[in-house]
Amino acid sequence: MSLHDFCFWLQNTTWGTAIRESTLLFPIIETTHVLGLSLSVGTIALLDLRLIGLGLRREPVSQVMRQIMPWSLAGFAIMFITGGLLFWSQALKAYNSVFFRMKLLLLFFTAVNALVFQFTVYRSMSSWDKAATTPRAARISGLVSLCLWVAVIAAGRTMAYKF
């Protein structure tokens, strides 16, 4: 079975059809997706701005992370689940959308950036945690994260209008 065939099958399952054809379910899922996105990306943006040095400079980075990460992870879980349901209902359209593919690629790069941050810059956080100016690598990671999330949102919104 090819990926195209799988997407065709998936969107035509009972659940996929029910979500797609419902006058309430699809908009509720889509709204919840946007709210999860706002929660996740909004909190990540706060951390990124702290890393860049454009906000919360008086707060230690570790404290900012500790306070926002539960909210960010909750938002990401909501975004992931609802995004999966939206894909389920329109899998073939998503498969054929260049903007959906761009969004997935950009999400992959955000994950890579987060992993690089965790396994490199984050490990030495105790030495620069309370500094008003973070190390260059932390600033770069924050800026890359912020730019990638803007691009993810732009691709997602463009995808919605090009279906």
pLDDT tens, 140-150? 999 999 999 99
Q: DSSP code of 90?
A: T
3-state secondary structure of 53: coil
pLDDT (0 to 100) of residue 163: 59
pLDDT (0 to 100) of residue 129: 85
What are the C-alpha distances in Å from 72 to residues 27, 41, 42, 109, 148?
23, 7, 8, 17, 16
pTM greater than 0.85: yes
Q: Please name the residue that has the structure tokens 């701005």.
A: 49
Q: Please name the residue that has the structure tokens 């955000």.
A: 110
| Residue ranges of the chain with per-residue pLDDT less than 50 | none
CA distance 162 to 98: 9
Q: Which residues contact 12 (CB under 8 A, 6 or more apart)?
A: none
Break the chain into its structural domains and give their ranges. Answer: 3-161
CA distance 60 to 125: 10
Q: DSSP code of 58?
A: T
3-state secondary structure of 132: coil
Q: Which residues contact 130 (CB under 8 A, 6 or more apart)?
A: 60
CB distance 95 to 7 below 8 Å = yes
pLDDT (0 to 100) of residue 133: 83
pLDDT (0 to 100) of residue 159: 85
pLDDT (0 to 100) of residue 84: 96
